[in-house]
Amino acid sequence: MYYIGICDDGKNTCSELEQMVLFYAEQKSMKWKTAVWYTGESLCDYLKAGNPLDVLVKPIRQEQVEEVLDLAVKILGKNETKFMYQSGRDYYYIPYGDIRYFVSEGRKIRVVTTQGEKEFFFYLFAERGVPSQQIVVINLQKGEM
């Protein structure tokens, strides 16, 4: 599910933009939810909570909306695909977009993420479930650093 915010003091403008977003979502067979603000103050209150923002300047055309939404889908899509690992009997998932890098120390694997570090035991193989276009493998032997 993707969330889109629309802010303008003109209700017609907000309605037109919302229709553009919903048209895009329908064309791409995706689920989108829109939120509408009719004042800058109400949007600012929302943004103070640390929510992200991208801006389109009026007048807005359908092509502009589609370009921005395509980019958002590409960026946010990194967090939809997840790396799975097992620790003990439990399975854990980490969105690829949160992974900074892997460290392999024998059988011990350390995953450094935007949220911290996780460790588990396994042999790390780049081709096992890790999309090659998202992970760069660097192989250094001890003493090379």
> According to the model, what pLDDT value does residue 12 have?
92
Tokens of 63: 């092509």
Residue 129 above 60 pLDDT?
no
The domain containing residue 35 runs over which residues? Answer: 2-77
Task: Note whether 118 and 86 are within 8 A (CB).
Answer: no
* 73 lies in the same domain as 7: yes
Nearest of 6, 26, 28 to residue 16 by alpha carbon: 6
How many H helices and E strands in the chain?
A: 3, 7
Residue 125 above 50 pLDDT?
no
Residue 118 above 80 pLDDT?
yes
126 or 25, greater pLDDT? 25
> According to the model, what pLDDT value does residue 101 have?
83
Domain count, the chain: 2
* 23 lies in the same domain as 62: yes
SS3 content of the chain, % helix, strand, coil (to 5): 30, 30, 40
pLDDT digits (tens, 9 = 90+) for 26-35: 888 888 888 8
**Mean pLDDT over residues 117-143, rounded?**
58
> According to the model, what pLDDT value does residue 97 have?
74
Question: Exposed/middle/buried for 73, CB within 10 Å: 0-12, 13-18, 19+?
Answer: middle
* 71 lies in the same domain as 85: no
Task: Note whether 65 and 56 are within 8 A (CB).
Answer: yes
Residue 145 above 50 pLDDT?
no
pTM of the complete model beyond 0.75: no
* 86 lies in the same domain as 73: no
* 66 lies in the same domain as 88: no
pLDDT digits (tens, 9 = 90+) for 48-104: 887 766 666 677 888 888 888 888 777 776 556 778 888 878 888 887 778 888 887
* 85 lies in the same domain as 59: no
Q: Where are the beta strands (DSSP E) in 1-145?
A: 2-7, 32-37, 82-87, 90-95, 99-105, 108-113, 116-121
> According to the model, what pLDDT value does residue 79 have?
56
